[in-house]
Amino acid sequence: MKRKTKVLGMVTAAVLLVTATIFGTMAYLTSTDEVTNTFTVGSVAIKLDEAEANADGTLVEGADRVKANSYKLMPGTTYTKDPTVTVKAGSEESYVRMKVTFNNAAALMEMLPSADNLEDYTPEEIALIKKIAPILFLTNYTAADAGWLPEYTMFGMEKTLADPNYFVYDAANDTVTYIFYYPTTVTATDKDVVLPAVFTEISLPEHVTGEQLAELNNFQITVIAEAIQAGSFADAADAWSHF
């Protein structure tokens, strides 16, 4: 009996020992997992170009689009000029705008409106007409049809012309700039997106005289295209305020 009790006691002890060993091993078991967040940086890429034109304004047939053209300016002559923005494939959703700047602004604002056409207007109306004369009378302004905003018209432009987000007259440098905004965001995920031109031609009115033309020393039209990722901005105005 004593022998059986002793053997049973040893078995019980062994079980306890094994049990204690298992519990001890479980106490040190570990498990590791992790989450890796990968952040990529998006991009916005645009291109600005225009059709290549000869000095007389006619198109150069079969030519690639270019960054600039030179013209021999004459009253009553129409010249091809179609600055066009392309949002490149792979670009994030973005807002796009174009800035069109004319130098020799003071001379342009005086010569482009025909004096005969101003006879029946008030001084305030004439002042507005002169401010919009370069974009309205020098170009075949197509922004309204193309979708760009704002739409410059003869009247009702006081608020727009007073807003530097749309119109800037720099008297010190004798330049005037008109700023146009594409009304929707542009997404070019898989392919290039070509936006319509604000204008496609320029021409000096026939009433411009040789003396007035001589005042346009080294006359230039400069177009700048800008784009900003829409991101988390509330709207276009919010986005451009951070440009």
Average pLDDT on 32-57 reads: 81
Q: CA 150, 151, 155 angle in degrees (round to 5)?
A: 115
In this predicted model, what pLDDT tens digit does every residue of 212-236 receive, in sequence order? 988 888 899 999 999 999 988 999 9
- Mean pLDDT value of segment 172-187: 95
Decide: pTM greater than 0.95: no
Phi (first) and psi of residue 239, to 5 degrees: -60, -50
Q: Are 126 and 104 in contact (CB under 8 A)?
A: no
Q: Please, which pLDDT band fits residue 159 given cuts at 50, 70 and 90?
A: very high
Residue 40: pLDDT band (50, 70, 90) is low
Using CA atoms, how far apart are residues 56 and 69, in angstroms rounded to an integer? Answer: 11
| pLDDT tens for each residue of 97-139 | 999 999 999 999 999 998 887 888 899 999 999 999 999 999 9
- pLDDT score at 117: 78
Please, what is the end-to-end C-alpha distance for the chain in angstroms? 97
Q: Which phi and psi (to 5°) does residue 25 adopt?
A: -65, -40
